[in-house]
Structure 1
């Protein structure tokens, strides 16, 4: 027996050992395969990094050559009138030796006490074109200004642009002795800014018009009598954003004997009006990029001016709304190691795509940073600074980052949604190919929006067609899966969809972007919606819902937040709402039988309601007329008449009034009745005459009564 047990035990131990050895072998195989996969990934990563570094070096060389071509042969030290030595030193420390065309044209004029209105392509160096003469003018003014004596003001439309100008100008401001500067932008408590100005003083104000105007309104000790220079950067945008009232108020506080500069990439009628109102005999400077075009007939070259930088290549891509996400993802995969800015129509769209794109498995390794105007100021600054220092990454933003921002190394501008204002198109694409560098841009258009291409060409924007990616990965199912798993994704998608449609309705080019022809169904599929939301645009305007496939295998009200705290709060709110819902009291009396349901009460039509109102008015007029006849015959007394007609206080008002009171004051009720009577459009002419004759006698009776009372 013992021998049998020993044999069985040995057999069992041997089997167990075999299993363990097999398991160890499997683990070793798994480990080796993991090591192999990791090695392949590392090799691919090194190859990508090597290609990226190689491309970066090549682009740096190309950019350096392009930058040299974009500069003129004029040195800052050769300008006339000459710049001061500290300013030249600050320019050299920043790496600026030669001027761009706009700088070479603008700086001498502003330094010669001329007002200027500058229209130059975006990315042409406008910031230094006004910062350098701004500082030179201040250096020639009072050497030791008082703490609250304002010498110069720079106004720009957005917080980000104001902050950028402020930090670019700081090395130059420091060359002016005893001068304090302050940045005035939203997102910072105005009490903090006021306290800082009161304690430290401020001689240079840089900021947005709203915050600057508010600060001027609250501070009485700021002295603008010796102000030397006013700069309005992105002047067209300042007016488009509704700051005209604030700018007018700011200018009214400033002395007329000052230097003023208006800088913009687009000159509009509003800018022309502001130029006439705020500038004294301005010199107009227009700097345009010229490209050589080969004419087909004569085969000769001719120059054509454009509103975009010379090194910028712009393309458009036509695709249906439900295919836009797939084309976007494929575009990002094809341009993986590059630095890209993607523009959306609304803040809600940025929130949504910034939430859903990182959840796609193919984009896990991408750095996606959202930026829009509804973010807190600290979050906006953090997002912008984070993207600026990246060598490759993706910024998802609205037009808050479309103007003036100088973000280094941007390779591509992708406009997922065309801008509402066509003027913004040039500013968007101008975030790349700055100061002569190379850059590319692409805009996604729906097939019905193809006329926008010709519109851009008429506006001197060169643009070419780009073909769709034929094998783009379908990501709609992945987006819908993300919405099913997290209520936050689903709600953000609905908000983005609704905000896009409402923004689409407000397009400035409504003859191109016709929202009545918008295909809601395909658009909803492109946003990965599970169900179509209830919208007036869909209900009342019969927009096309073709192409939308709703998800019926899940109840959207049952979708939970992935964040447990938010889900708990939602459940609690639903329970409170359910408990607070009023309980309708049960009707008393016998229940209606099923054979005799309650009668349906129908609403009266508009014509019926008008007829009822007319009948009531007629009856009231007849009653007043009969009461007047009874008063004349002595059947009723005056007090009873006044009580019945609501004419109480008539005698008292007459005694307290002036003897020369007008007829309207004596007969207020009659006049009111007559006006009300005349406003009725339902009475025909014969009835109106009859009623008017009755009220003629009504008036004469009151006149007789008034004369008796005077006697």
Structure 2
């Protein structure tokens, strides 16, 4: 019998079926080549006060006193002058580098200068529109926007997004919103149906997370939105006098913000009449550049994804029958106060689908509240949260706020939380179900190590998925391996006598408890058992949908379905479920 997790891993490994031979010499994502570099230089060395020639005293005061900002980041510094100079900008920078403030600071400065010439009121309608791909990102941008305008009471900010009541949004738009944050679908809807929406004075259009707008299929909606904005301008005789559609289009400054460069980003820019744009970001060689590109004829730099120097990445190779036990041990060890060096922190666990989020959240909630181990010790003592796309918008917003405000906790979520969101004090990212697309892996780990704070990321891999770790290492990522035994130490010491040192025995002991409790819950309350069964089948479906470029790693034939069932605490084989 194997005496360690490492030995068990070797025994349980199934030879991978290679459906496609990977290109060993070049790293690609579809047709897009990209690589990763370490960024050791996040902040500008000069203090915020040194920007007094570019920023008004009230803006500097708000940033310093209301937001606690002493220095700008590099991307904020580089973007300031071009945006203030009315250039169309394509901004690319890593997650956690301060991209939101990189466009908000000059935007607020420009509107403040405008107010000095002619007083701004909400009756003027909308001057700036910020498009964001998700409702959570809209909420986040709106929150930052309200902070930065807290000293400018005349400036009205607000958001409209799917899941909210259209009637109340219509009323806000009728009264006037100077800076509007919106999801594409809801903005398009109001442009078509809300005639009282005053948007003929729009001067600034910002596409936040432009690459995700493309990934989510919003290209056509963005085009429609832009055309309707131009039509609204044309319909106002005071604005359209002696103006053509082209000159009205040129009167709108556009900023596209992204962490990666999508192959269609140039097409998206052309949809909103951007031909020449100042690119601010890393060049193909990894150096930081500012260069004007013709988006019709020029080729943009290849994707360089920058990784914070203070982010440490790990991988755990886990046999499927012990995945749930390892996750429990890992979460317990990282939420114990001594493991966080007496400082509270948060963990985000990324899962493959909504069913899996529901199962894992409710499973650990059950072992937190209804089942007590030796000495009445709960398995995980910190608050637990869940977030996925099937949750109603109002509840999602509340959960997002609760987790953001919490000092510690564990969030189980799908990729709805992977892109653009700034969740403070996240110390660990756990990719329990790794994404097939390496770019999604990079976006996920971007939820930690933000703004110069240390962070860690770990992914759980089946034995046959170790090839994925090797694939990521081709992107110049350094991924350290964690031995499975370390995840079980807290279980051994907390719940069993100290003489018990065999990790396999500890894992089997805890797995048996998990399975027995799920059987008991199935007799008394079928909800948790049903969640496990649904999550199991959804995981199989998720696994079968991996793209062809990584199918040689994530192939359904590589899974032992009986062992996989145990990773959802199911004692019976799949045929008996």
Coarse TM-score class (shorter-chain normalised): 0.7 to 0.9
Give the conservation status (yes or no) of the 8 Å contact 1:482–1:489. no
Corresponding position of 1:506: 545
Q: Distance in 1 between matches of 2:382 and 2:516?
A: 20
Residue 520 to residue 283, structure 1, CA distance change in 2 (3 Å):
same
1:108 is matched with which residue: 73, 76, 81? 81
Q: Deviations over 1:13-71 (max 9, x none)?
A: xxxxxxxxxxxxxxxxxxxxxxxxxxxxxxxxxxxxxxxxxxxxxxxxxxxxxx99632
Q: Hey, what's the Cα distance between the residues in 1 that align with 2:393 and 2:512? A: 35
Deviations 1:113-141 (A, max 9, x none): 11111111110111110111111222344
Aligned position for 1:310: 309
Match of 1:388 in 2: 404
Q: Which residue of 1 aligns with 2:108?
A: 135
- Match status 1:321 vs 2:320: yes
Shift in Å, 1:364? 5.0
Q: Which residue of 1 aligns with 2:145?
A: 169
Gap change, CA 1:180 and 1:392, over 3 Å in 2: closer
The equivalent of 1:377 in structure 2 is 393
Residue 477 in 1 paired to residue 512 in 2? yes
Partner of 1:246: 221
* Structure 1 residue 441: Cα displacement: 0.5
Structure 1, 404-413 or 507-516: larger mean CA deviation: 507-516
* Equivalences for residues 184-333 of structure 1 within 5 A: 184-198=160-174, 200-255=175-230, 256-257=249-250, 258-278=252-272, 279-287=274-282, 307-333=306-332
Larger Rg: 1
The worse-fitting range, judged by mean Cα deviation, of 346-355 and 497-506 is 497-506
**Structure 2: distance between partners of 1:511 and 1:273:** 32
CA displacement, residues 257-282 of structure 1 (integer Å, 9 cap, x when unaligned)? 21111111111102232134332411
Q: CA contact under 8 A between 2:428 and 2:448: conserved in structure 1?
A: yes
Q: Distance in 2 between matches of 1:442 and 1:223?
A: 48
Larger proportion of helix: 1
**1:666-686 Cα shifts (integer Å, max 9, x gaps):** xxxxxxxxxxxxxxxxxxxxx
Structure 1 379/318 Cα, relative in aligned 2: closer, same or farther at 3 Å?
A: same
Distance change in 2, residues 1:115/1:502 (3 Å): same
Distance (whole Å) between structure 2 residues aligned to residue 265 and residue 459 of structure 1: 16
> For residues 408 and 433 of structure 1, what CA distance do their matches in structure 2 show?
10
Unaligned runs of 5+ in 2: 1-38, 231-248, 288-303, 338-344, 373-377, 487-502
User: Which structure 1 residue ranges, 4+ long, deviate > 4 Å from structure 2?
Assistant: 174-177, 287-291, 530-534
CA contact (8 A) 1:358 1:366 kept: no
State the 1:246 CA deviation: 1.5
Q: Which whole-Å CA distance do the structure 1 matches of 2:145 and 2:87 have between them?
A: 21
Normalised by the length of structure 2, the TM-score is 0.74
Structure 1 393/177 Cα, relative in aligned 2: closer, same or farther at 3 Å? closer
Deviation at 1:525, TM superposition (A): 1.7
Corresponding residue for residue 495 of structure 1: 534
Q: Shift of residue 187 of structure 1?
A: 2.0
After superposition, what is the alpha-carbon deviation per residue over 1:455-514, rounded to whole angstroms, capped at 9, x for unaligned?
222334332222212725333323322332221011111111122222222223334322
Report the equivalent of 1:48.
none
Provide closer, same or farther for how the CA distance between residues 426 and 227 of structure 1 changes in structure 2, counting only shifts above 3 A: same
Give the Å deviation of 1:243.
1.7
Deviations 1:84-132 (A, max 9, x none): 2221111111111211111111111111111111111110111110111
* 1:149 alignment partner in structure 2: 125
Match of 1:579 in 2: none
CA contact (8 A) 1:119 1:263 kept: yes
Tell me if structure 1 keeps the 8 A contact 2:96–2:449.
yes
2: CA distance between counterparts of 1:411 and 1:290? Answer: 27
Match for residue 382 of structure 2?
366
Deviation at 1:169, TM superposition (A): 1.0
Alpha-carbon contact 2:324-2:569 (below 8 Å) kept:
no
Partner Cα separation in structure 2 for residue 75 and residue 218 of structure 1? 47
Q: Write the mapping of 1:543-622 to structure 2, written as runs, cut at 5 A.
A: none
Aligned residues: 456
2:357 equivalent to 1:350: yes
Say if 1:103 and 1:126, in contact at 8 Å, map to a contact too.
Answer: yes
Q: Is 1:85 the counterpart of 2:57 in the alignment?
A: yes
CA contact (8 A) 2:434 2:441 kept: yes
| C-alpha RMSD of the superposition | 2.6
1:426: how far off?
1.3
Q: 1:370 to 1:425 in 2, by over 3 A?
A: same
Q: TM-score, normalised by structure 1?
A: 0.60
Equivalence for 2:347 = 340
Q: In structure 2, do the counterparts of structure 1 residues 441 and 364 end up closer, same or farther at CA, with 3 Å as the change threshold? A: closer
CA distance in 2, matches of 1:146, 1:356: 49
Inter-partner Cα distance in structure 2 for 1:177 and 1:329 = 48
Cα distance, 1:184–1:282 mapped onto 2, change above 3 Å: same
Q: What displacement does 1:385 show? A: 2.4
**Residues 205/315 of structure 1: CA separation in 2 closer, same or farther (3 Å cut):** same
